[in-house]
Amino acid sequence: MATNNFRPHLHVIPEDDRNRQIANGFAGSKSIAPRVVQILPPAGGWMKTVEKAKDSDMQRYAERRLHLLVDFDRKTDRIEYIKKNIPEEFIERVFILGTFSEPEELKATLGRKGLEEIGESLSEECPACSDRSLWEHALLRHNTEELERMIVSVRSFLFERSEDREHFPPRTGGGSL
Amino acid sequence: MIHRLYVNNFRCLENFDLPLKGMSSALLMGGNGSGKSTVLHVLEILQRIARGENRTGRLLQPEDFSYGRFDAPMRFEIEVFLQERLYLYTLALELPEKFKELRILEEALSVDGQAVYTRKEAEVSLFRRSPNSEDTARFLVDWHLAALPLIQASPDTESVRIFRTWLAHTVLLVPIPSLMTGESGGETLEPERDGSNFAEWFTGLLSRYPSSYTSVERSLRQVMPDIKDLLNRPVSDNVKSLAVRFREQNEDRARNAELTVRFKNLSDGEKCFFICAVILAANESYGPLFCFWDEPDSHLSLSEVGHFILSLRRAFGNSGQLLTTSHHPEAIRRFSDENTLLLFRRSHLEPTSVRRLDEISFDGDLVEALIRGDIPAYGD
Write b or e for each residue in A18-50: b if 16 or more Cβ atoms lie within 10 A of its Cβ, otherwise e: bbbbbbbbbbbbebbbbbbbbbbbbbbebeebb
Give how far Cα B178 sits from Cα of A164, B167, B196, B244, B325, Å: 43, 27, 9, 17, 21
Give the distance from residue A117's alpha carbon to the nearest chain B alpha carbon, in angstroms.
10
Percent of chain A with pLDDT over 70: 90
Least CB–CB distance from A2: residue in B304, B337, B365: B304
Does the distance separating the beta carbons of B339 and A116 come in below 8 Å? yes
Quick check: A167 and A129 in contact, CB under 8 A?
A: no
pLDDT tens, A81-138? 999 999 999 999 999 999 999 999 999 999 988 999 999 999 998 876 667 899 999 9
Identify the pLDDT of residue B134. 73
A38 contacts in chain B (CB < 8 Å): 303, 306-307
- Taking CA atoms, what residue in A is nearest to B303? A2
Chain B residues whose beta carbon lies within 8 Å of the beta carbon of residue A69 = none
A15 reaches B (C-beta below 8 A): no
User: Chain B partners of A20 at a C-beta cutoff of 8 Å?
Assistant: 333, 366
How far is C-alpha B127 from the geometric centre of its chain's CA atoms?
29
- Give the residue from chain B lying closest to A119, CA to CA: B336
A16/B365 Cβ within 8 A: yes
> Which residues have C-beta within 8 Å of that of residue B95, sequence separation ≥ 6?
B62, B65, B70, B102, B103
Question: B311 vs A17: CB contact, 8 Å cut-off?
Answer: no
Helix axes A115-125, A103-110, angle to 10 degrees: 80
Taking contacts as CB-CB distances below 8 angstroms, the residues of chain A near B317 are 28, 30
A113 touches chain B (CB under 8 A): yes
Query: Do residue A24 and residue B337 have CB atoms under 8 angstroms apart?
Result: no
Among B105, B94, B101, B75, residue whose Cα is nearest residue B10: B75
Tell me the C-alpha to C-alpha distance, in Å, between residue A76 and each of A84, A142, A146, B187: 14, 9, 14, 63
Do A35 and B339 count as a contact with CB atoms less than 8 A apart?
no
pLDDT at A1 over 60: no
Q: How far is B249 from chain A (nearest CA, A)?
A: 14
Residue A116: which of B338, B364, B366 has the nearest Cβ? Answer: B338
Report how far residue B221's alpha carbon sits from residue B229's, in angstroms, rounded to the nearest whole number.
10
Tell me whether A45 touches chain B (CB under 8 Å).
no
pLDDT value of position A172:
46
Query: CA of A29: which chain B residue's CA is closest?
Result: B314
A21 touches chain B (CB under 8 A): yes
A8 touches chain B (CB under 8 A): no
* pLDDT at residue A175 tops 70: no
Q: Do A30 and B314 touch (CB under 8 A)?
A: yes
Q: Which residues of B touch A (CB under 8 A)?
A: 222-225, 301, 303-304, 306-307, 310-311, 313-314, 317-318, 329, 333-339, 358, 364-367
Q: Is residue B143 classed as helix, strand or coil in its secondary structure?
A: coil
Closest approach of A35 to chain B, Cα-based (Å):
6
The answer to whether the pTM exceeds 0.80 is yes
Check residue A168 and give its pLDDT.
54
Confirm if B339 and B25 have CB atoms less than 8 A apart. yes
Per-residue pLDDT of chain B (380 residues; tens, 9 = 90+): 999 999 999 999 999 999 999 999 999 999 889 999 999 999 999 999 999 999 999 999 999 999 999 999 999 999 999 999 999 999 999 999 999 999 999 999 999 999 999 999 999 999 987 666 678 999 999 999 999 999 987 887 899 999 999 999 999 999 999 999 999 999 999 999 999 999 999 999 999 999 999 999 999 999 999 999 999 999 998 999 999 999 986 666 656 789 999 999 999 999 999 999 999 999 999 999 999 999 999 999 999 999 999 999 999 998 999 999 999 999 999 999 999 999 999 889 999 999 999 888 887 888 988 888 887 654 44
Q: Where are the beta strands (DSSP E) in chain A?
A: 9-14, 37-39, 64-69, 94-97
Is B336 in contact with A116 (Cβ distance < 8 A)? Answer: yes
Which among B5, B125, B33 is positioned nearest to B380, based on CA atoms?
B33
Residue B358: list chain A partners with CB under 8 A: 114
Q: Which of B310, B336, B366 is closest, CB to CB, to A114? A: B336
Phi, psi of B173 (to 5 degrees): -125, 125
